[in-house]
Amino acid sequence: MAFVFVVVFFFTAVCFLLPLCLPLCTSKKRRGVGVQSGGDGQKLRLPPGSMGWPYVGETLQLYSQDPNIFFASKQKRYGEIFKTNLLGCPCVMLASPEAAKFVLVSQAQLFRPTYPPSKERMIGPWALFFHQGEYHLRLRRLVHGTLGPDVLRTLVPDIAAAVSSTLGAWDGHVASTFHAMKRLSFDIGIVTIFGGQLDGRYKEELRTNYSVVEKGYNCFPNRFPGTLYHKAIQARKRLRSILCEIVAKRRCAGAGRDHGDRSLLDGLLRSNDAGAAALTDDQIADNVVGVLFAAQDTTASVLTWILKYLHDSPKLLQAVKDEQMAIYVSNERGKRPLTWTQTRSMTLTHQVILESLRMASIISFTFREAVADVEYKGFLIPKGWKVMPLFRSIHHNPEYFQDPHKFDPSRFKVTQLLDMDCIRLLGSAALSSTRLLEIP
Ligand SMILES: *[C@@H]1O[C@H](CO)[C@@H](O)[C@H](O)[C@H]1NC(C)=O
């Protein structure tokens, strides 16, 4: 019960995040641009920083110390923008909200997402986060539209049921919090993607096969039979056929009538409404796997951190429990279902969620690749270089957050005024840093 709201928020909030675990770099080596002319003929400099040794660059420094310390010491020395070289790729790191916004929002067309081909294959090459331009925009609208407040509102009872069932299963058992949260976030993901009525058999098949995919995701891409990677590729194929079967059934059932279903899958199936070509089965399957991938681990990590922070602060825990209990009691001790409006009125709980997002910063950074030579604040970001907005450094900078290492939900008091849209943006990789920082 106590976690319904968390889940509702988080699923929306982190749906579009990619787990950090994507390795940094795939790219071919590029020419080392030194100095170049800006548009107005003025010489542009590369950002300050050191490139370390040839090829390995500063990779060893990064891996041999706490990455936070690595970034923090660079930032102290060079400021909000600095260059380095990791895993053979020249990178520009950006540690200010303004710069993050530049790369991810206002000039997003100049920076493209890049992932190693083996990862793309595993998630599905049609997943929206591998694309730019029109296809990306269309998919983004679809996903946003079907995971937005209007739809989530209708899913609250289903989500509440999934949470109760998970909590029920914990009774009398000792469980790893993270694993339990993963199971829970998978269940919520399934509800959100397929609506409340997915056959239990499909759900289990998806769960077991997805977990095989996940195990192979970070392995060396060796296709030799028996390796985790090979098993993952096989499981990914099974996921595709399970999804195609579900899609075929939905197409059949849905033909000729609007059954009012507004799950993500229904949105993807109806995507030809506006006259565009319908999405293919592969495009649908890749995006379903993509959303699961983006949502599950991130959500489970944040939920786990929330529990830890609350556990560490008994007073706060009690206050959150009181807030939840008041709603539970007003619903006749659970006889009436939790409503969307109630999830909006959990003021303290909401602050705890925001502060946990900030403190844990589970997506420490993201990366893009410059598609052209770009000028930022008088510095040159050469074409082909990786660009990394450092979310964690921003969230832990005392200039923006006083006493950044203190868990203090009250710093988000003002957010009662934020609307749902804003909350969603908070979680999205694009704006997590910038929006947070607009709050005084
Ligand atoms: C994967 O899906 C298939 C059906 O396509 C199912 O038979 C199997 O039990 C699932 N799980 C695993 C781990 O293979």
CA 229 to centroid of ligand 1, rounded, Å: 16
Closest atom of ligand 1 relative to the 211 alpha carbon: 13
For range 38-56, the mean pLDDT = 71
Q: Which residues pair with 369 in a beta bridge?
A: 112, 386
The per-residue pLDDT for 171 is 81
pLDDT band at 296 (very low <50, low <70, confident <90, very high): confident
CB of 110 closer than 6 A to ligand 1?
Answer: no
pLDDT for 68-119, tens place per residue? 777 888 888 888 898 888 777 889 999 999 999 999 888 888 998 888 788 8
CA distance 112 to 131: 8
Q: Which domains does the chain have, with CATH numbers?
A: 4-17+32-44+115-366+408-438 (1.10.630.10)
CB 188 within 8 Å of CB 156 = no
pLDDT band at 9 (very low <50, low <70, confident <90, very high): very low
Between these two residues, 429 and 78, which has the higher pLDDT value?
A: 78
Between these two residues, 419 and 224, which has the higher pLDDT value?
A: 224
pLDDT for 11-20, tens place per residue? 333 333 333 3
Pick from 186, 238, 242, 245 the residue to mutate for probing ligand 1's pocket: most ligand atoms within 8 Å of its CB.
Answer: 238
Q: Measuring CA to CA, which residue among 27, 37, 51, 99 is closest to residue 371?
A: 27
Between these two residues, 408 and 19, which has the higher pLDDT value?
A: 408
For range 119-124, the mean pLDDT = 87
CA dihedral 170, 163, 161, 348 (to 10 degrees): 130
CA distance 182 to 141: 27
Contacts for 297 with CB less than 8 Å, ≥ 6 apart:
19, 21, 182, 185, 214
- SS3 track for 299-358: HHHHHHHHHHHHHHCHHHHHHHHHHHHHHHHHCCCCCCCCCHHHHHCCHHHHHHHHHHHH
CB of 282 closer than 6 A to ligand 1?
Answer: no
As a residue count, the chain comes to: 440
- pTM to 2 decimal places: 0.79
CB of 330 closer than 6 A to ligand 1?
Answer: no
What is the 8-class DSSP label of residue 422?
A: H
Q: At what angle do helices 200-217 and 177-194 cross, to 10 degrees?
A: 120
CA distance 387 to 317: 39
The per-residue pLDDT for 266 is 87
